[in-house]
Amino acid sequence: MKLGEARIAVLAENQYQELELWYPVLRFREGGADVIVVGPNATRMYSSKLGIPVVSDVAAAALGPEDIDVLVIPGGFAPEAMRKSADMIGLVRKVNDGGGIVAAICHAGWVLASAGIAKGRQLTCVPVIRDDVLAAGAEYIDKPVVRDGNLITSRLPNDVPVFCAEIIRAVSELDGHRGSGATWPAPGPRASAVYDVPARLVQAPAGRATANYTTTSALVGS
């Protein structure tokens, strides 16, 4: 398959790492791929660590994993929130089990562990979560990019160029789309890196008289 024919989904949550989300989105769009941003909820704004907003195109629960050729999981602190979403973890697991390409960078190793797909696999990640992926049964390899079959992993933002290059090589080995595209969003506007003001994280109690809280994203000044 040519890159321009691929359907690529990139996961998003609050406190994502900017380069690890937008570099793949823009690089693969440059190559002609149809790239969407997927969150726990559709059309919800998520803030990066530096306040760059992204609005999700579709909710994870609305996607058929068989229609995703590549699933990219950025790092930052977003994976900590992603692993709390059963829909997002379920999508990662199903794409992997169906033979789709799963690409994770930096702290996204947490998502692989929570999805139960790290066990017995060779992978890399940001060194600070090395013990977590080892505990999940993975073999940790300290290299800029590691590929184990359909699983591609990298360590840090500086590794994004080789991370994307390896994803493109993996796409070139696909015979064609993995599904009919029945659940894939219709052609139209997709998530954009263009924004007028930064976003900020807003924390609020999860309910009355509780110490638990929820985190949402809002534009500065709103």
The Cα–Cα gap between 38 and 65 comes to: 12
d(CA 145, CA 152): 7
Per residue, the 3-state secondary structure of 17-81, as one string, reads: CHHHHHHHHHHHHHCCCEEEEEECCCCCEEEECCCCEEECCEEHHHCCHHHCCEEEECCECHHHH
**Distance of alpha carbon 114 from its chain centroid, rounded?**
14
Q: What is the DSSP letter of 139?
A: E
**Catalytic residue at 107?**
yes
Please pick, among 83, 93, 107, 155, the residue that the annotation labels catalytic: 107
**Active-site residue set:** 107
